[in-house]
Homo-oligomer: A and B are copies of this chain.
Protein backbone atom coordinates (compact mmCIF):
# COMPACT_ATOMS: atom_id res chain seq x y z
CA UNK A 1 0.00 0.00 0.00
CA UNK A 2 2.85 2.34 0.84
CA UNK A 3 5.02 1.54 -2.16
CA UNK A 4 7.90 3.92 -2.24
CA UNK A 5 9.44 5.63 -5.25
CA UNK A 6 12.97 5.17 -4.07
CA UNK A 7 15.97 5.00 -6.36
CA UNK A 8 16.81 1.38 -6.13
CA UNK A 9 19.38 -0.61 -8.03
CA UNK A 10 20.19 -4.31 -8.03
CA UNK A 11 23.68 -3.47 -9.21
CA UNK A 12 24.44 -1.71 -5.95
CA UNK A 13 22.47 -3.97 -3.63
CA UNK A 14 24.46 -5.90 -1.08
CA UNK A 15 22.19 -8.90 -1.63
CA UNK A 16 22.96 -9.15 -5.32
CA UNK A 17 24.94 -12.36 -4.90
CA UNK A 18 21.97 -14.11 -3.28
CA UNK A 19 19.01 -12.57 -4.99
CA UNK A 20 17.66 -12.34 -8.50
CA UNK A 21 20.87 -11.11 -10.13
CA UNK A 22 22.86 -14.00 -8.69
CA UNK A 23 25.52 -15.10 -11.15
CA UNK A 24 25.06 -12.21 -13.53
CA UNK A 25 28.00 -10.07 -14.56
CA UNK A 26 28.20 -6.42 -13.56
CA UNK A 27 27.00 -5.20 -16.97
CA UNK A 28 24.23 -7.79 -17.07
CA UNK A 29 23.16 -6.66 -13.65
CA UNK A 30 22.81 -3.12 -14.87
CA UNK A 31 20.03 -4.34 -17.15
CA UNK A 32 18.05 -5.30 -14.08
CA UNK A 33 18.09 -1.87 -12.55
CA UNK A 34 15.02 -0.87 -14.50
CA UNK A 35 13.14 -3.81 -13.06
CA UNK A 36 12.79 -2.76 -9.45
CA UNK A 37 10.42 0.15 -9.56
CA UNK A 38 9.76 0.40 -5.86
CA UNK A 39 10.18 -1.06 -2.46
CA UNK A 40 7.55 -1.84 0.07
CA UNK A 41 7.66 -2.09 3.83
CA UNK A 42 5.66 -4.73 5.63
CA UNK A 43 5.22 -4.63 9.37
CA UNK A 44 5.49 -7.67 11.55
CA UNK A 45 2.27 -9.68 11.34
CA UNK A 46 1.08 -7.95 8.20
CA UNK A 47 0.47 -9.75 4.92
CA UNK A 48 2.48 -8.86 1.83
CA UNK A 49 -0.34 -10.54 -0.05
CA UNK A 50 -3.15 -12.95 0.76
CA UNK A 51 -4.95 -15.82 -0.93
CA UNK A 52 -7.07 -14.49 -3.76
CA UNK A 53 -5.24 -11.17 -4.14
CA UNK A 54 -4.60 -10.23 -7.73
CA UNK A 55 -1.08 -11.19 -8.75
CA UNK A 56 0.95 -8.36 -10.20
CA UNK A 57 4.49 -8.67 -8.92
CA UNK A 58 7.17 -10.90 -7.57
CA UNK A 59 8.88 -9.72 -4.41
CA UNK A 60 12.50 -10.04 -3.36
CA UNK A 61 13.01 -9.96 0.39
CA UNK A 62 15.42 -7.17 1.21
CA UNK A 63 15.22 -7.39 4.96
CA UNK A 64 13.07 -9.22 7.45
CA UNK A 65 11.57 -12.63 7.43
CA UNK A 66 8.39 -14.06 5.90
CA UNK A 67 6.28 -17.16 6.02
CA UNK A 68 4.00 -18.36 3.25
CA UNK A 69 1.01 -20.51 4.09
CA UNK A 70 -2.00 -22.17 2.52
CA UNK A 71 -5.27 -22.86 4.28
CA UNK A 72 -7.86 -25.64 4.09
CA UNK A 73 -11.56 -24.95 3.79
CA UNK A 74 -11.99 -25.88 7.44
CA UNK A 75 -9.33 -23.53 8.73
CA UNK A 76 -6.29 -25.72 9.20
CA UNK A 77 -3.27 -24.13 7.67
CA UNK A 78 0.09 -25.25 6.48
CA UNK A 79 3.21 -23.11 6.37
CA UNK A 80 4.78 -23.84 2.99
CA UNK A 81 8.00 -21.95 3.52
CA UNK A 82 10.03 -19.35 5.36
CA UNK A 83 11.76 -16.68 3.28
CA UNK A 84 14.73 -14.57 4.24
CA UNK A 85 16.77 -11.81 2.59
CA UNK A 86 17.44 -12.42 -1.08
CA UNK A 87 14.66 -14.94 -1.56
CA UNK A 88 11.79 -14.50 -3.99
CA UNK A 89 8.12 -14.57 -2.99
CA UNK A 90 5.01 -14.66 -5.15
CA UNK A 91 5.65 -17.33 -7.79
CA UNK A 92 2.42 -19.06 -6.75
CA UNK A 93 0.39 -16.24 -8.28
CA UNK A 94 1.51 -16.62 -11.88
CA UNK A 95 -0.65 -19.57 -12.85
CA UNK A 96 -4.03 -18.05 -12.10
CA UNK A 97 -3.24 -14.33 -11.87
CA UNK A 98 -4.23 -14.58 -8.23
CA UNK A 99 -2.19 -15.53 -5.23
CA UNK A 100 -2.67 -19.06 -3.91
CA UNK A 101 -1.12 -18.47 -0.50
CA UNK A 102 -0.64 -15.84 2.16
CA UNK A 103 2.75 -14.20 2.65
CA UNK A 104 3.10 -12.78 6.16
CA UNK A 105 6.02 -10.87 7.64
CA UNK A 106 7.36 -12.50 10.82
CA UNK A 107 9.28 -9.32 11.59
CA UNK A 108 9.31 -5.84 10.13
CA UNK A 109 10.44 -6.31 6.57
CA UNK A 110 11.15 -4.63 3.29
CA UNK A 111 10.76 -6.12 -0.17
CA UNK A 112 11.72 -5.07 -3.68
CA UNK A 113 8.66 -5.02 -5.92
CA UNK A 114 9.20 -6.55 -9.36
CA UNK A 115 6.16 -6.08 -11.59
CA UNK A 116 5.81 -9.42 -13.33
CA UNK A 117 4.98 -8.06 -16.76
CA UNK A 118 8.26 -6.19 -16.61
CA UNK A 119 10.04 -9.36 -15.54
CA UNK A 120 8.59 -11.10 -18.58
CA UNK A 121 9.38 -8.24 -20.93
CA UNK A 122 12.94 -7.94 -19.74
CA UNK A 123 13.31 -11.72 -19.90
CA UNK A 124 12.50 -11.70 -23.59
CA UNK A 125 15.20 -9.16 -24.34
CA UNK A 126 17.74 -10.41 -21.94
CA UNK A 127 18.55 -14.12 -22.09
CA UNK A 128 20.49 -14.44 -18.82
CA UNK A 129 17.55 -13.03 -16.90
CA UNK A 130 15.16 -15.37 -18.64
CA UNK A 131 17.21 -18.37 -17.66
CA UNK A 132 17.50 -16.99 -14.17
CA UNK A 133 13.79 -16.69 -13.70
CA UNK A 134 13.43 -20.27 -14.87
CA UNK A 135 16.08 -21.38 -12.42
CA UNK A 136 14.40 -19.61 -9.53
CA UNK A 137 11.10 -21.31 -10.26
CA UNK A 138 12.80 -24.66 -10.71
CA UNK A 139 14.65 -24.20 -7.44
CA UNK A 140 11.37 -23.63 -5.68
CA UNK A 141 10.00 -26.85 -7.19
CA UNK A 142 13.04 -28.83 -6.06
CA UNK A 143 12.80 -27.29 -2.60
CA UNK A 144 9.13 -28.20 -2.39
CA UNK A 145 9.96 -31.79 -3.32
CA UNK A 146 12.48 -32.00 -0.50
CA UNK A 147 9.85 -30.69 1.91
CA UNK A 148 7.52 -33.42 0.67
CA UNK A 149 10.25 -35.93 1.41
CA UNK A 150 10.56 -34.49 4.88
CA UNK A 151 6.80 -34.51 5.51
CA UNK A 152 6.23 -37.88 3.91
CA UNK A 153 8.98 -40.01 5.27
CA UNK A 154 10.79 -38.47 8.22
CA UNK A 155 10.05 -38.68 11.90
CA UNK A 156 9.86 -35.75 14.27
CA UNK A 157 13.54 -35.63 15.22
CA UNK A 158 14.67 -35.95 11.62
CA UNK A 159 12.30 -33.18 10.55
CA UNK A 160 13.49 -30.74 13.16
CA UNK A 161 17.15 -31.59 12.53
CA UNK A 162 16.70 -31.10 8.79
CA UNK A 163 14.91 -27.82 9.45
CA UNK A 164 17.69 -26.49 11.67
CA UNK A 165 20.40 -27.53 9.24
CA UNK A 166 18.59 -25.88 6.35
CA UNK A 167 18.06 -22.69 8.32
CA UNK A 168 21.63 -22.45 9.48
CA UNK A 169 22.95 -23.13 6.00
CA UNK A 170 20.89 -20.29 4.57
CA UNK A 171 21.89 -17.96 7.38
CA UNK A 172 25.53 -18.83 6.83
CA UNK A 173 25.22 -17.98 3.15
CA UNK A 174 24.13 -14.53 4.36
CA UNK A 175 27.14 -14.10 6.57
CA UNK A 176 25.61 -15.09 9.88
CA UNK A 177 27.02 -17.54 12.36
CA UNK A 178 26.74 -21.20 11.37
CA UNK A 179 26.12 -22.19 14.97
CA UNK A 180 23.79 -19.70 16.60
CA UNK A 181 20.76 -17.66 15.66
CA UNK A 182 17.39 -16.46 16.78
CA UNK A 183 14.31 -18.10 15.37
CA UNK A 184 11.84 -15.65 13.88
CA UNK A 185 8.89 -18.00 14.04
CA UNK A 186 6.87 -19.56 16.86
CA UNK A 187 6.87 -23.24 17.75
CA UNK A 188 3.45 -23.44 16.17
CA UNK A 189 4.72 -22.08 12.85
CA UNK A 190 7.67 -24.46 12.90
CA UNK A 191 5.24 -27.26 13.65
CA UNK A 192 2.95 -26.27 10.82
CA UNK A 193 5.86 -26.25 8.40
CA UNK A 194 7.14 -29.62 9.64
CA UNK A 195 3.76 -31.29 9.95
CA UNK A 196 3.81 -31.67 13.70
CA UNK A 197 2.10 -30.07 16.70
CA UNK A 198 3.76 -27.28 18.61
CA UNK A 199 4.10 -29.51 21.68
CA UNK A 200 6.03 -32.06 19.64
CA UNK A 201 8.32 -29.32 18.35
CA UNK A 202 8.96 -28.18 21.90
CA UNK A 203 9.58 -31.72 23.13
CA UNK A 204 11.97 -32.43 20.28
CA UNK A 205 13.91 -29.25 21.01
CA UNK A 206 14.12 -30.38 24.63
CA UNK A 207 15.36 -33.80 23.57
CA UNK A 208 18.13 -32.24 21.48
CA UNK A 209 19.11 -30.15 24.48
CA UNK A 210 19.15 -33.24 26.73
CA UNK A 211 21.34 -34.99 24.16
CA UNK A 212 23.78 -32.07 24.24
CA UNK A 213 23.29 -31.29 20.54
CA UNK A 214 21.94 -27.78 20.94
CA UNK A 215 21.23 -25.09 23.50
CA UNK A 216 17.82 -23.47 23.33
CA UNK A 217 16.48 -20.52 25.20
CA UNK A 218 13.12 -19.54 23.75
CA UNK A 219 13.85 -18.32 20.23
CA UNK A 220 17.60 -18.46 20.64
CA UNK A 221 19.29 -21.60 19.32
CA UNK A 222 22.94 -22.56 19.61
CA UNK A 223 24.00 -25.61 17.63
CA UNK A 224 26.77 -27.33 19.55
CA UNK A 225 27.09 -30.44 17.40
CA UNK A 226 26.22 -30.00 13.73
CA UNK A 227 27.45 -33.49 12.89
CA UNK A 228 24.99 -34.98 15.34
CA UNK A 229 22.17 -33.18 13.54
CA UNK A 230 23.45 -34.55 10.24
CA UNK A 231 23.46 -38.05 11.68
CA UNK A 232 19.87 -37.64 12.78
CA UNK A 233 18.77 -36.63 9.29
CA UNK A 234 20.78 -39.41 7.63
CA UNK A 235 20.68 -42.32 10.05
CA UNK A 236 22.57 -44.77 7.86
CA UNK A 237 24.93 -42.71 5.77
CA UNK A 238 26.78 -40.78 8.43
CA UNK A 239 29.12 -42.94 10.44
A153 to B134, CA, bound (A): 30
Within 8 A of B (CB), among A187-218: 192-195
Per assembly, the copies of the chain total 2
Interface of A: prevailing SS? helix
| Chain B residues within an 8 Å CB radius of A133 | 134
Using C-beta atoms within 8 Å of the partner chain, give the interface range for chain A: 35 or more
A24 sits at the interface (CB 8 A): no
Q: Are A195 and B75 in contact (CB under 8 A)?
A: no
A186 sits at the interface (CB 8 A): no
Convert A156-190 into 0s and 1s, putting 1 for each residue whose CB lies closer than 8 angstroms to a CB of B: 00000000000000000000000000000000000
28 example contacts (A-B, Cβ-Cβ < 8 A) are as follows A70-B145, A73-B237, A74-B234, A74-B237, A76-B149, A77-B153, A78-B149, A80-B145, A80-B148, A80-B149, A91-B137, A91-B138, A92-B141, A92-B142, A92-B145, A94-B134, A94-B135, A95-B136, A95-B138, A100-B142, A120-B127, A147-B148, A148-B151, A151-B151, A151-B152, A152-B193, A153-B192, A153-B195
Known: A72-B234, A124-B127, A148-B151. 8 other contacts (CB 8 A): A78-B149, A92-B141, A92-B142, A120-B131, A144-B145, A147-B148, A152-B192, A153-B192
